[in-house]
Amino acid sequence: MSNRQQQLLLEARELTVRFGGLTAVDAVSATLHAGEIVGIIGPNGAGKTTFFNAISGVVMPTSGTLLVENGIDLTRRGPHLYAAHGIARTFQTPRVMADMTLEDNVRFGMQFAGRHREPISGLGSTGEILDMLGLGGLARNVAADITPSQQRLLEIGMALGTRPRVLLLDEVAAGLTEAEVDAMARRIRRLRDEHGLTVVWIEHAVATLLKYVERVLVLHQGRKIADGTPAEVVRNAEVVEAYLGDEMEATA
């Protein structure tokens, strides 16, 4: 492992999120190191999105601790601070601004960049960001006029505008064709390989995700039940049982 990969960018310690009597995330501990592409899988309602919400400041954890780069404690701090510390995310339903042009959408994201954050190499301008996502030719179009899969890419562009080190992707492949998913995965890998980002990627389609990530966390009923390479988790008995075997068969 290189030094770059060893740098700890995010650490959740016993993170718990309760909604009334329901424990959506149950004492989950996990680490994320620079240069990783990590997937999060788990059956419906497993707590994947809530865990994302907790590590991006969208929901306050009930208990536990969240540390970011340089050991800074962001537990229970506001979402703007997460962006300032280099954490950016997309949402399951893309939150683009339909009436604005693609370049203005990316510019909007840039307003949330931490004032002292260096631009990402090769992704410092709206043009570079849109080109990297294959949206350069549509820069002056309004977001309402592009396809749903292009809107997903645009939302990634808005996140990139904040100059993140860690990019959290929530089901960016949902509803895409196989060819589009493949193109999306290649772009995500380039974000890591060429632009130095670290990626955490939730996808409901397990077989899809396991093809593209190097490490995977498995959540079930709010608990982390596995954390390893795709090959390791598909052989994990607790994981197979959580999915009743069904979705894992395609990847076994």
Ligand X SMILES: Nc1ncnc2c1ncn2[C@@H]1O[C@H](COP(=O)(O)OP(=O)(O)OP(=O)(O)O)[C@@H](O)[C@H]1O
Binding of ligand X at residue 250 (CB under 6 A)? no
Residue pair 35/192 in contact by the 8 Å Cβ criterion: yes
**Cα distance between residue 147 and residue 142, in whole Å:** 11
CA-wise closest residue to 95 among 159, 25, 22 = 159
> Toward ligand X, which CB reaches closer, 14 or 19?
19
Candidates 44, 71, 116, 178; binder of ligand X (CB under 6 A) is 44
Nearest-approach distance from CB 168 to ligand X, in angstroms? 12
Tell me the β-bridge partners of 200.
38, 168
Least distance (Å) between residue 171 CB and ligand X? 7
Contact 30, 191 (CB under 8 A): no
Site string for ligand X, 177-216 (x = CB under 6 A): ---------------------------x------------
- Among positions 4, 6, 19, 232, the unique one binding ligand X when judged by CB under 6 A: 19
Burial 128-145 (b: 16+ CB within 10 A, else e): bbbebbebeebbeebbee
Pick the binder of ligand X from 48, 89, 163, 220 (CB under 6 A).
48
Using the minimum distance from each CB to ligand X, give the nearer residue, 108 or 243. Answer: 243
Q: Torsion angle, CA of 65/71/73/79, rounded to 10 degrees?
A: -100
CB of 47 to ligand X, least distance (A): 4
The reply on whether position 57 binds ligand X by CB under 6 A is no
24 touching ligand X, by CB under 6 A:
yes
- Of the candidates 214, 224, 218, the one whose C-alpha atom is nearest the C-alpha of residue 240 is 218
Task: Please report whether residue 223 would count as binding ligand X according to CB under 6 A.
Answer: no
Query: For 78, phi and psi rounded to 5 degrees?
Result: -75, 155
Residue 22 as a binder of ligand X (CB under 6 A): the answer is yes
Q: Which is nearer to ligand X, 46 or 143 (CB)?
A: 46
Name the site residues for ligand X (rule: CB under 6 A).
Answer: 19, 22, 24, 42, 44-50, 204
